[in-house]
A and B are shown apart, each in its own frame.
Chain A
Amino acid sequence: MLTSFPILSTLIWLPIIGGLLVLFAGRNNDTVAKWLSLGTALATFILSIPLWTGFDTTTASMQFVEQVPWIPTFGVQYYLGVDGLSMPLVLLTTFTQVLVVASAWEVIKDRVEQYMGAFLIMGGIMVGVFAALDSILFYVFWETLLIPMYIVIGKWGGPRRVYATIKFFLYTFFGSVFMLVAFLYMFYQSGSFSILDFQTMPLGMIAQILIFLAFLIAFAVKIPMFPVHTWLPDAHVEAPTAGSVVLAAIMLKMGGYGFVRFSLPITPDASMSLDWLVILLSLIAIVYIGVVALVQSDMKKLVAYSSISHMGFVTLGMFVLYDILEKTGSIQGAQLGMEGAMVQMISHGFISGAMFLAIGVLYDRMHTREISAYSGVVNKMPWFVMFAVLFAMANVGLPGTSGFVGEFMVIMSSFKANIWFGTLAALTLIIGAAYTLWMVKRVFFGPVTNENVEGLQDLNKREFAIMATLAVAVVALGIYPNPLMEVMHTSVENLLVQATTSKL
């Protein structure tokens, strides 16, 4: 059966090896580099589908497990597996990977093989992050990922790329060091690096608080949360299109994933006593960052801030459970928030990816991202604008698109926790619409006011295919989110039990 086939290892190593192959075979031959990359990405995606079809929704335990010793002296294992929380994220990664390769097709002309190779390797590493069940393995993937991203922004980035890469690297590196310390502490306490062992080991309150804070710093930087968010807009602005897509669609999700894999199950008591901090930062993200997004003049910056704001829903949805428990005495209603957070991550992967790809389409033609450089794009690119408006509406959280599902669930759940949480979160209905549609108005609508816009060509077939794929994903998830929910239910229920069971 498929279970004996090391599917997760394949998803990690196939793109990495493929990427290395592209580096060598594709040198001086862009066509080979491109097709080999696309083939690898497609093969990875197709091979990841059995994760979905062969997934057992009745159990919360890890599936597709692979476990072999790696560094026996320290008990470090090569230990992989997925549950309902990580499996959708793995699929999101492999799916995005295909689009990323396709998006660079004729846009990147300089060292194509290195560019493609870097993204393929990144794809494998990202699957590794979501599939690793050994904390050291996780940490290795987590940190290694920075290197290809660093190279991509530093090599193919914009004019201020040096500043952006250093900021990006130092921020994320600074954050994850604390996480490593936490892992080492727990290893000394439990004698194991297995994340599942961490989840079951008893921990004192002070240790929990310190570990929780260490995790918080690591994940808050990644998501990113206020006030450690300023690296993201800079990184996005300087990154090439595909870099932004990977950054927004997948890398940010690692922070959210960290909370459900580490913080909540490993330090439930600390999570309960410090939930207010996460909730506060989430609400700041939703409201404050939304207002900041409104006044951005660079499209990528605007969408970057919008990403931060939307990720606020993820963290809010994950941490309202304790207030619900305290207020009503049961966790009825918390599942909605937790699942909403997970759906929001997947949905945001589609939407932010689509938004950055759309900006990339314009940037490739005009070489500017300034909103004021555009006007009336619809007159020249009607198909493109049709997709762009759809994605914008998804960003606004319109029902029928995936953007609505998570926001709706989190608003419901947080309202149950506290009327004011729900009220502040719901402000996104107004703020999100304001910054997104104001940009839509200025860029896409209105008369054509300059020659550059006058000369724009509508989407080519490749771009059309990318946009259409994402459009289908966004609408399908919006109209029928239940299949995704069913995958998550058991794992989320298990997580809620873990998060509310004291470890003291």
Chain B
Amino acid sequence: MLHTILTIILVAPLIGSMIAGLFGRQVGRAGAHYATIAGVAISTVLSFYVFWLYVFNGAAEYNASLYTWMVSDGIRFEIGFMIDKLSATMMLVVTFVSLMVHIYTIGYMDHDDDYDHHNPYYQRFFSYISLFTFSMLSLVMANNFLQLFFGWEAVGLVSYLLIGFYMKRESAIQANLKAFLVNRVGDFGFILGIAMVFVYFNTMDYNEFFAQLTSQRDVMIEIMPGVEWSMMTLMLILLFVGAMGKSAQMPLHVWLPESMEGPTPISALIHAATMVTAGIFMVARLSPAYELSEVALTVVLITGALTAFLMGMLGLIQNDIKRVVAYSTLSQLGYMTAALGASAYAAGMFHVLTHAFFKALLFLAAGSVIIAMHHIQDIRQMGGLKKYMPITYWTMLIGSLALIGFPGFSGFFSKDSILLALGESERFGATFAYVLLIMGVFVTAFYNFRMFFLVFHGEESEYVKTHKIKESPAVVTVPLILLSIPAVLMGLPMIEPMLTGQYFGDAIQVLEQNDTMMAVYNNYYHGVLDMILHSFMTLPVLLALSGVFLAWLMYIKQPNIPAKIKSMCPRGYYVLDNAYGFDRLNEIVFVNGTRRLGEFFTRVIDIKMIDTGMVTNTFMAVAHSAQALRQAQTGYLYHYAFVMIFGLLAMLVWVLW
């Protein structure tokens, strides 16, 4: 029974996708969106059921194979399901957000005048987002590394297709190429990590892998003669490199800001709520392994913390509404990663969940603004939109408050548990990470409310004055409202079971001495209400509020301050404006470097050395000696061939006798 339900959850979006994608012309626009929405709705409803079964009724872990992909060398490579509280929760998040995005897309794409209408682009879009839902589900439902990699690459493919959705736009097709390649750099590490699982554990199955962890924990491997590393640490770091690509951690973050070239609904679904959290999910899924390597966890911790702070800083100077949200996603992904690094996997996942809702909400609200502004995305051209778009305004305010961790909102609980857990952690680098994350809280509040004030408050720009701005239609605003509900409420009931570890149960395993979440629970937690009230006297909330205040001061009250600051420290602005130079470095070293190398290889080795040096010279030598044999020359290649064969035969016979 459960097996059938799981199969339907997985396959329904795929069927919808194929109807819309392959028969787009036949079913038409409406047919495409009904088919895909029906598919995803079925998955959502059934996911609710599975969620209820696991999270409320504590059903036992379900692990079963769907089919055997192949058997080789005595190892079974399977496609299957592993359902526990972790995957059940992720399934619900993926399907629910996906459903909201599907509905929202009807409104968004309808207003998308950007595209010529001969092409069935509308159907294609629905096909892609349903295909994405299928891929993401297969990733989170996987019971083995192979399927994880399947889903991992499939979401990457759909992301590639969707970033480049506006195929005529040079910036879009540049961005999707970049996204794919940077992700592939991560996958390079990821597949080597999987190769280590294969070599040292002889299985692809999660549970068989977990069962051997203790026996393999002290294995050392020789990297180079005389250099030995811990197998476990290397494997986990390699797997984490995959997570860095997918979850956009520095220095593999460069693709995410540019992914905003895609249509806004997918920025919400793929590049905020679900796909980019795949890396976090993977580490949480493998928590029993990560617990065994302090070094790997330290790498995770530092990477996350640096990303959280440095990417947040870049949010300060963005003027494109989507880029502000994109950098905030990067920064929030850093928070999640840092939580993993502090062994607070549950906190990291908690933030994944709350973030999925409030960030999807922020993106979709930003999309609503973009619709109203007729695809203008520069926040300096907006202003005073509050009175035209009340629903968008209020829902975006809710999303923003959740993002900055305003007490009581969902983001507050998840972010605070990350911060508290980091405070408890004694891992190397934990204090450093803690400081970065605390500073990040202030930065987050500032850049987000800077955007908020510039868009909705202040003076109306010329454009707003001269054009008719109106609230978006119901297909857009209803998803916003539906997403606001979890963005406000979902933290309240979840905080306690998250801290005690009851929420995820055995799905996430933490060693006792590393259990920072439990320490937070024992040392600080005295009920939800107490946590909210108490927080107004804690540093994170005070910093968040001062960030909001400063944004108000600088962009509403005294709008001339930003320019002054900019002129006061041009160097700082230059560094931020160039995003720390990562793009330029990649361009010079990797892109042009590889191209030069390729040209060198072609010109010097292939053409000069092999073709001209080896081949043509030999050829000429043969040709010259052939001059002497002019009489025998008939001009037919096969004559030469036969002469050669018989000559060789004769030689051989002569030698052997």
Using a CB–CB cutoff of 8 Å, the interface residues on chain A facing chain B are 143, 147, 150, 166-167, 169-170, 173, 177, 180-181, 184-185, 188, 227, 230, 288, 291-296, 332-336, 339-340, 376, 378-379, 382, 393, 398-400, 404-405, 408-409, 411-412, 415-416, 419, 422-423, 426-427, 429-430, 433-434, 437-438, 441, 444-447, 479-482, 485-486, 489
Q: Tell me, yes or no, whether B386 is within 8 Å of chain A by CB.
A: no
- B223: Cβ under 8 A from any A Cβ: yes
Which residues of chain A have C-beta atoms less than 8 A from B174's C-beta?
Answer: 441
B residues in contact with A332, CB < 8 Å: 73-74, 202
Instruction: Please measure, in the bound complex, the distance between the C-alpha atom of A185 and the C-alpha atom of B223, giving whole angstroms.
Output: 43
- Contacts between the two chains (Cβ within 8 Å), count: 154
**Which of A173, A393, A415 interacts with B641 by CB under 8 Å?**
A173
Interface residue from B69, B192, B615 paired with A481 (Cβ < 8 Å): B69
Name B168's contact: one of A296, A376, A441 (CB within 8 Å).
A376
Q: B interface vs A, CB < 8 Å? A: 67-75, 119, 149-150, 153-154, 157, 160, 164, 167-168, 170, 173-174, 177, 180-181, 184-185, 187-188, 191-192, 194-196, 198-199, 202, 221, 223, 594-595, 597-599, 601-602, 606, 610-611, 614-615, 619, 637-638, 641, 644-645, 648-649, 652, 656
Residue of A nearest to B21 (CB): A386
Closest to A173 in B: B641
Complex-state Cα separation, A293 to B68, whole angstroms:
35
B119 touching A416 by the CB < 8 A rule? no
- B160 nearest in chain A by CB position: A437
Find the B residue at minimum CB distance from A293. B598
A335–B180 CB distance below 8 A: no
How far, in Å, is A286 (CB) from chain B's closest CB?
13
Considering residues B184, B611, B644, B656, which has the most beta carbons from chain A within 10 angstroms of its beta carbon? B184
The answer on a CB contact under 8 Å between B177 and A437 is yes
Q: Indicate if the CB atoms of B154 and A399 lie closer than 8 Å.
A: yes
Is B154 a contact partner of A415 (Cβ separation < 8 A)? Answer: no
Contact B199 A180 (CB under 8 A): no
Q: A177-B648, A415-B196 are in contact. Are A295 and B611 (CB under 8 A)?
A: no
Partner of A445, one of B164, B191, B595, B648: B164
Known: A184-B649, A184-B652, A430-B181. A336 touches B602 (CB 8 A): no
Dominant SS at the A interface?
Answer: helix
* Residue in B149, B157, B644 whose beta carbon sits within 8 Å of that of A393 in the complex: B157
* Chain B contacts for A334, CB-based, 8 A: 73
The 8 Å CB contact of B606, one of A188, A292, A336, A376, is A292
A446 in complex: contacting residue of B170, B597, B615, B644, CB < 8 Å: B170
A376 to B170, CA, bound (A): 10
Minimum CB distance partner of B200 in chain A:
A416
Given contacts A181-B652, A398-B157, A412-B199, 20 further A-B contacts (CB under 8 A): A177-B648, A185-B656, A188-B656, A291-B594, A295-B599, A295-B602, A334-B73, A336-B75, A376-B167, A376-B168, A378-B167, A398-B154, A399-B154, A409-B72, A411-B191, A415-B196, A429-B184, A429-B187, A430-B181, A485-B71
Q: Known: A429-B191, A433-B181, A441-B177. Is A291-B72 also a contact (CB below 8 A)?
A: no
Least distance between A18 CB and chain B CB atoms (Å) = 24
Task: Assess the B656–A339 pair: CB atoms within 8 A.
Answer: no
- Please name all residues of chain B whose beta carbon is closer than 8 Å to the beta carbon of A339 when the two chains form the complex: 72-73
Task: Choose among A185, A411, A423, A444 the residue that contacts B652 (Cβ–Cβ < 8 A).
Answer: A185
Given contacts A167-B615, A288-B601, A482-B69, whether A430 and B185 have CB atoms under 8 Å apart is: yes
CB-based contact A336/B73 at 8 Å: yes
Q: Please state if A230 and B615 are interface contacts (CB–CB under 8 Å).
A: yes
Q: In the complex, are the beta carbons of A485 and B70 less than 8 A apart?
A: yes
Task: Determine whether the beta carbon of B602 is less than 8 Å from that of A292.
Answer: yes
Chain B CB within 10 A, most for which of A166, A416, A481: A416
B149: chain A residues within 8 A (beta carbon)? 399
**Residues in A whose Cβ lies below 8 Å from that of B191:** 408, 411, 426, 429
Instruction: Verify A441–B153 contact, CB threshold 8 A.
Output: no
A-chain residues with CB within 8 Å of residue B68 when the two chains form the complex:
482
Residue in B167, B168, B637, B638 whose beta carbon sits within 8 Å of that of A166 in the complex: B637
B1 CB, min distance to chain A CBs, angstroms? 25
Determine if A430 and B184 form an interchain contact, defined as CB atoms under 8 angstroms apart: yes
Contacts of A404 in B (CB 8 A): 153
With A292-B601, A480-B69 given, is the CB distance from A415 to B180 under 8 Å? no
The distance in angstroms between the C-alpha atoms of A416 and B196, with both chains bound, is 8
Chain B, residue nearest A405 (CB):
B70
Complex: A437 Cα to B179 Cα, angstroms: 11
* CB closest chain-A residue, reference B75: A336
Do residues A230 and B611 form an inter-chain contact, with CB atoms below 8 A? yes
| Closest Cβ–Cβ distance, residue B468 to chain A (whole Å) | 31
Q: Which of B71, B223, B614 contacts A482 (CB 8 A)?
A: B71
- B637: A residues at CB distance < 8 A: 150, 166, 169
Q: Which residues of B contact A393 (CB under 8 A)?
A: 157
CB pair B72 A480 closer than 8 Å? no
CB–CB B181/A422 < 8 A: no
Contact assessment for B638 and A147 in the assembled complex, using a CB-CB cutoff below 8 Å = yes
Give chain A nearest CB distance to B26 CB in angstroms. Answer: 14
Which B residue sits closest to A386, measured CB to CB? Answer: B21
CA distance A399 to B184 in the complex (A): 13
Within the complex, the shortest CB–CB distance from B151 to chain A, in Å, comes to 9
Contacts of B184 in A (CB 8 A): 429-430, 433
> In the complex, are the beta carbons of B598 and A292 less than 8 A apart?
yes
List A contacts of B638 (CB < 8 A).
147
Known: A180-B648, A295-B598. A482 touches B70 (CB 8 A): yes
Nearest CB to that of B168 among chain A residues?
A447
Pairs A-B, 6 closest by C-beta atoms: A295-B598, A415-B195, A335-B73, A445-B173, A482-B70, A336-B73
Contact of A227 among B167, B196, B614 (CB under 8 A): B614
Q: How far is the CA of A181 from the CA of B637 in the complex (A)?
A: 20
A249 and B250 CA atoms in complex are apart in Å by 41
A426 to B187 Cα, complex, angstroms = 9
- Closest chain-B Cβ to A313's Cβ sits at a distance in Å of 13
State in angstroms the CA–CA spacing of A441 and B656 once bound together. Answer: 60
Partner of B67, one of A173, A480, A489: A480
In the docked arrangement, what's the CA distance between A430 and B164, Å?
Answer: 19
B163: shortest Cβ distance to chain A, in Å? 11
Minimum Cβ distance to chain A for residue B123 (Å): 11
Residues of A within 8 A of B70 (CB): 405, 480-482, 485
Q: How far is the CB of B35 from chain A (nearest CB, A)?
A: 18
Report the Cα distance A438→B177, complex, angstroms. 7
Nearest Cβ on chain B to A330's Cβ, whole angstroms: 11
| Chain A residues within 8 Å of B594, by CB | 291, 294, 434
Q: Which of B173, B221, B619 has the most CB of A within 10 A?
A: B173
A446 touches B199 (CB 8 A): no
Contacts of A486 on B, CB cut-off 8 Å? 71
Q: Which residues of the other chain, A, contact B154 by a CB distance below 8 angstroms?
A: 398-400
Closest to B166 in A: A445
Q: Separation in Å of the B155 CB from the closest CB of chain A?
A: 11
* A-B contact list, 13 entries, CB within 8 Å: A185-B656, A292-B602, A295-B599, A296-B602, A376-B167, A376-B168, A398-B157, A399-B153, A416-B195, A437-B160, A438-B177, A480-B67, A481-B70
A415 touches B150 (CB 8 A): no
Identify which of B170, B188, B595, B619 contacts A295 (C-beta below 8 A): B595
Q: Find the A residue at minimum CB distance from B188.
A: A429
Nearest-Cβ distance from residue A492 to partner chain B, whole angstroms: 9
Nearest to B156 among chain A residues (CB) is A398
Chain B residues with CB under 8 A of A336: 72-73, 75
Query: Smallest distance from the beta carbon of B244 to chain A beta carbons, Å?
Result: 14
Is the Cβ of A411 less than 8 Å from the Cβ of B185? Answer: no
CA distance A445 to B598 in the complex (A): 23
- Chain A nearest CB, measured from B481 CB (Å): 37
A489 CB contacts on chain B under 8 angstroms:
72
Nearest chain B CB to A206 CB, angstrom units: 14
Q: In the complex, how many angstroms separate the beta carbon of B590 from the nearest chain A beta carbon?
A: 9
CA distance A122 to B32 in the complex (A): 46
- Nearest-neighbour CB distance to chain B for A307, whole angstroms, equals 15
Q: B167 to A446, Cβ gap below 8 A?
A: yes
The reply to whether A416 and B199 form a contact with Cβ atoms under 8 Å apart is yes
